[in-house]
Amino acid sequence: MDMLYTPLSIEPAKIAEELDPTIKQLGTVAEAGRRLAANGLRQV
């Protein structure tokens, strides 16, 4: 996680490009978790 502490001399676009897939993946995982929770509550 050293990237967080590097000076902003690195172009932000490059950082955003690298983080984007991770953020999308987390969003998908969160959405799946929400669906599972909703289904679980309905069954109980």
Tell me the per-residue pLDDT of 1-44, one tens digit each, with 9 for 90 and over.
455 555 556 677 777 788 888 878 888 988 998 998 888 877 65
pTM: 0.44
Which pLDDT does position 26 carry in this prediction? 84
- Cα separation, 22 vs 9, in Å, equals 22
Which pLDDT does position 7 carry in this prediction? 59
What distance, in Å, lies between the first and last C-alpha atoms of the chain? Answer: 41
